[in-house]
């Protein structure tokens, strides 16, 4: 079996998904879960893009131990220096340098000749190599690059010190046959290719990211890049959970293996979905809610007689437990601690007490508490969503007049400890509620997206709301959960506003600690 390295870019390419805005604490929690999942490399971010991204990459690099931490940089000294500053204390640091190589990119974006692009690529790899031993070099838009030129530049950047060569299908244009032939050509026409890992990075614009990744493996790629749940720019990236499970289930056909811990897949998927606000489609392979559901009577009959008649993957393989119902009103702290340990969470004594208190409050309103409910409580506690608030919702009420026009009344606690109250109308309950909150706060708000979903099943299931908005022209997202849909909506709206202040506080504390 050939060992395939898994390069996860959920925290970089995945966060570039429209509407996704992760803060430093959320990125750190995802990074720790990716380490439990067993990825070989995680691309923690693009440090030169913002102070917030720099801080997050630096904290991740200082926290995880068993995973290579990569930082992205354009082919210029400033980006490379910034990337190194962020990851230099990592146990296994990697600088990832990229430059475009396709004719259309070189002509219209870079405005450079092929010779100039080669010179820049070589000089920047040399510059990065002075700081870090592990250098990944990417040929942006490789799948639309002329093959002789691609082979020439690859050979020269390897001589300059690159240890990984990545050939991305940046715009999701290629087919499995074409992509496989490109890797085969490079393997046979670059004299020093045996000195590096050859990597693929596929986008899903034509729905072929998974197939293209497998084609690359079959033609010499030893590293696969992708994201959890396949999130990413435009149509997203290759979904790493699909690749890992496909190689496991069809190991009779594919002679490749990975270090991914498959039973951690569902928890990783849930965490990424919750923090990004990108709901996993029900029919999504491996992690969708219908992946192991059978509606057809013929299928149900077959599964009952023998699971393998229609079920090629067991739910347990990817970490889905059939017995999800665990705790209730009379469960004690010891049982609660055992359960959160089973779920893979590690909390300080103070946060454990907060989580248990939140659990008890939920059992007063909900007869049975599921793993999904606990996951919501624990991720909120872990990322301090409850404790770093600028505005706090004290109470609200929505009522309708004789013409069915909703009026919302809201009582808020402001940052300076004052209680403020007002009422506003709207065309619907949520609009009235949001108009009222907006009238009570100082910031200028523009709501851009609103999504509502349920956590678990049944009429007492928790409602979860995700919002995207601009707060004083800064894009931000927020989430809120509650049994009442309107309360969840209010929590999400205030969470988004408060995240601006959480981010500023985290950035200030990081700058102060580095001063």
pLDDT greater than 50 at residue 355: yes
Domain match, 249 and 340 both? no
Question: Taking residues 271-280, what's their average pLDDT?
Answer: 91
Domain match, 199 and 248 both? yes
pTM, two decimals, is 0.86
Neighbours of 457 (CB within 10 A): 11
Domain match, 361 and 268 both? no
Assigned domain for 297 exists: no
Q: Can you give the CATH number for the domain in which 454 is found?
A: 3.30.160.270
How large a percentage of the chain has pLDDT more than 90?
66
pLDDT greater than 70 at residue 287: yes
Domain match, 363 and 409 both? no
Show which of 363, 382, 401 is a domain's final residue: 382
Residue 274: which of 36, 80, 510, 20 has the closest Cα? 20
pLDDT greater than 50 at residue 296: no
What is the domain count for the chain? 3
Please tell me the distance from the alpha carbon of residue 380 to that of residue 340, in angstroms, as a whole number: 13
- Write down the pLDDT at residue 454: 87
Show which of 358, 382, 406 is a domain's final residue: 382
Q: What is the pLDDT of residues 90-108, one digit of tens each?
A: 999 999 999 999 999 999 9
Which range in 60-74, 297-311, 353-367 is most confidently predicted, on average pLDDT? 60-74
pLDDT greater than 90 at residue 125: yes
Domain match, 25 and 117 both? yes
pLDDT band at 323 (very low <50, low <70, confident <90, very high): very low
Assigned domain for 373 exists: yes
Strands 256-257 and 68-74 come out as unpaired
pLDDT band at 131 (very low <50, low <70, confident <90, very high): very high
Question: Taking residues 41-50, what's their average pLDDT?
Answer: 96
Write out the residue range of the structural domain in which residue 188 sits.
2-276
Per-residue DSSP letters for 41-98?
A: EEEEE-GGG-HHHHHHHHHHHHH--SSEEEEEEESSHHHHHHHHHHHTTSSSEEEEEE
The residue with greater pLDDT, 155 or 501, is 155
Q: What is the pLDDT of residues 415-455, one digit of tens each?
A: 888 999 999 999 999 999 999 999 999 889 999 999 998 88
Question: Taking residues 246-272, what's their average pLDDT?
Answer: 96
- Write down the pLDDT at residue 417: 86
- Write down the pLDDT at residue 507: 52
How large a percentage of the chain has pLDDT more than 70?
91
CA distances from 55 to 83, 422, 515 (A): 11, 38, 13
Assigned domain for 291 exists: no
Domain match, 114 and 207 both? yes
- Write down the pLDDT at residue 385: 52
Domain match, 110 and 192 both? yes
Question: Taking residues 496-512, what's their average pLDDT?
Answer: 64
Domain match, 28 and 160 both? yes
């Amino acid at each position: 079996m050939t060992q395939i390295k898994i390069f996860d870019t959920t925290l970089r390419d995945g966060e570039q998904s429209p509407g996704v805005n992760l803060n430093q604490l959320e990125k750190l929690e995802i990074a720790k879960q990716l380490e439990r999942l067993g990825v070989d490399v995680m691309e923690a971010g693009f440090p030169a893009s913002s102070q917030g991204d720099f801080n997050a990459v630096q904290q991740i690099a200082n926290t995880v131990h068993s995973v290579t931490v990569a930082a992205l940089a354009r082919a210029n000294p400033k980006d490379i220096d910034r990337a190194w500053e962020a990851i230099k204390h990592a146990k296994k640091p990697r600088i990832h340098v990229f430059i475009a190589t396709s004719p259309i990119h070189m002509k219209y974006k870079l405005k450079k000749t092929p010779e100039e692009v080669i010179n820049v690529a070589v000089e920047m790899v040399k510059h990065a190599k002075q700081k870090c031993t592990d250098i990944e070099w990417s040929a942006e838009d490789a799948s639309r690059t002329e093959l002789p030129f691609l082979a020439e530049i690859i050979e020269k950047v390897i001589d300059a010190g690159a240890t990984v060569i990545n050939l991305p299908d940046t715009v999701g244009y290629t087919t499995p046959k074409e992509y496989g032939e490109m890797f085969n050509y490079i393997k046979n026409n670059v004299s020093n290719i045996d000195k590096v890992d050859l990597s693929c990075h596929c986008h899903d614009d034509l729905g072929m990211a998974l197939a293209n990744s497998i084609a690359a493996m079959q033609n010499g790629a030893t590293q696969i890049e992708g994201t959890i749940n396949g999130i990413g720019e435009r149509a997203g990236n290759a979904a790493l959970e699909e690749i890992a499970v496909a190689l496991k289930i069809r190991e009779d056909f594919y002679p490749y293996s990975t270090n991914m811990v498959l039973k951690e897949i569902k928890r990783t998927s849930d965490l990424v979905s919750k923090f990004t606000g990108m709901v996993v489609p029900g029919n999504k392979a491996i992690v969708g809610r219908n992946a192991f559901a059978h509606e057809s009577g013929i299928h149900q009959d077959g599964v009952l007689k023998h699971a393998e008649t229609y079920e090629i993957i067991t739910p347990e393989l990817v970490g889905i437990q059939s017995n999800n119902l665990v705790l209730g009103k009379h469960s004690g702290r010891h049982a609660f601690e055992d359960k959160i340990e089973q779920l893979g969470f590690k909390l300080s004594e103070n946060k454990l007490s907060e989580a248990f208190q939140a659990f008890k409050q939920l059992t007063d309103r909900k007869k049975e508490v599921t793993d999904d409910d606990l996951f919501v409580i624990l991720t909120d506690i872990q990322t301090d969503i409850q404790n770093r608030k600028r505005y706090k919702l004290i109470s609200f009420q929505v009522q309708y007049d004789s013409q069915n026009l909703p009026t919302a009344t809201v009582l808020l606690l402001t940052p300076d400890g004052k209680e403020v109250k007002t009422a506003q109308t709207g065309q619907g309950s949520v609009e009235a509620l949001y108009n009222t909150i907006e009238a009570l706060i100082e910031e200028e708000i523009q709501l851009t997206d609103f999504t509502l979903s349920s956590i678990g099943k049944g009429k007492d299931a928790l409602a979860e709301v995700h919002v995207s908005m601009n707060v004083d022209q800064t894009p931000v997202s927020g989430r809120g959960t509650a049994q009442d849909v309107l309360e969840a909506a209010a929590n999400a709206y205030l969470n988004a506003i408060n995240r601006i202040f959480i981010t500023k506080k985290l950035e200030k504390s990081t700058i102060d600690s580095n001063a």
